[in-house]
Structure 1
Amino acid sequence: MQVSFNMEDASQVFVGAFALAVPISFTEEAWRLGETLALSNIFMLLGLSLIFLALFSYQSVFQRQINHRLPVFVLRIVIDYVMAAMVVALVLLCIDKLPLLSEPMVALKRIIIIAMPASMGAIVVDSFDKE
């Protein structure tokens, strides 16, 4: 079984991330968490996101077969998360809730907060066609 990453996978990741990023990005609660949540909590959310991406990817995408493909497995998790974060950043930018220049830490926190569910949506949609 060869697991590669192609344009179909990229489009599925983008669509899955977008599906969950949009409703959450429009909530004032997510914006305020980006302003008030401690950095340690942000790192915990980032860690949880990566752990759950790894677990789901291990079970569904790679079907528990990563023995000789560990670098590909890790790269896949990183790519999926980064793509989901990019979608979140784009949505926040479109609704003028990504203060990159005036408050870069708030912007980064908002991206990480919303990327947690968005990345899960991304990996779930990406796994639909894997058999």
Structure 2
Amino acid sequence: MKQDLRFNLEDISQIIIGAFALAIPISFSQEAWELGETLPFTNLLLLLFLSFFFLGFYTYQSIFQGNVKYRMFAFIFRVVVAYLIAFVVVSLILFSIGKLPIIDETIITIKRIIVISMPASMGAIIVDGFDKE
């Protein structure tokens, strides 16, 4: 039976909950804040690459079950949207705890969000994939 892999409100809610579940404990960690301040740019790019690589790998294997030949747009869309939603969730959490100095320290803010978005995005895509198998 062919599964319908459209992206809907249920998927969005699953991604938000998954991202939130992993972002909360990490966002409250001083180590994550400091890592966002001190991480070199090349390491930050590596984290971003690893985030998309593992999101893509999990999505390919678990959600699409290796069948993306005729659904490449849906595959890429799901990976990018999952990361972006996790990015927004992390931003909101950091903002709510006063650790998002977007105006005063924009670079540190972006670095903190990227550092915490890596595990948050993995939680997001895993929860999204629960009902796809």
TM range, smaller chain: over 0.9
Task: Name the aligned partner's letter for residue 33 of structure 1.
Answer: L
2:34 aligned counterpart, secondary structure = helix
Q: Which amino acid in the other structure matches residue 128 of structure 1?
A: F
Distance 1:62 1:35 in 2: 37
Partner of 2:82: 80
Deviation at 1:2, TM superposition (A): 2.8
Name the structure 1 match of 2:55.
53
How many residues are treated as equivalent by the alignment?
A: 131
Partner of 1:40: 42
Whole-Å separation in 2 of the counterparts to 1:32 and 1:111 = 12
Query: Partners of 1:71 and 1:104 in 2: how far apart?
Result: 32
Q: Secondary structure at the match of 1:45?
A: helix
1:48, distance to aligned residue in structure 2 (A): 0.0
Distance 1:26 1:50 in 2: 24
Cα distance in 2, alignment partners of residues 109 and 43 from structure 1: 10
2:103 to 81, 98, 101: 101
Alignment of 1:18-33 (within 5 A): 18-33=20-35
Equivalence for 2:132: 130
TM-score (norm: length of structure 1): 0.98
Q: Secondary structure at the match of 1:93?
A: helix
Root mean square deviation of aligned Cα = 0.6
Q: What's the secondary structure of 1:123's corresponding residue?
A: helix
Deviation digits for residues 43-94 of structure 1, max 9, x if unmatched? 1000000000000000011111000111111111000000001000000000
The gaps in structure 1 that reach 5 residues or longer are none
Q: TM-score, normalised by structure 2?
A: 0.97
Aligned match of 2:119: 117
* 1:9 paired residue number: 11
**Any gaps of 5 or more consecutive residues in structure 2?**
none
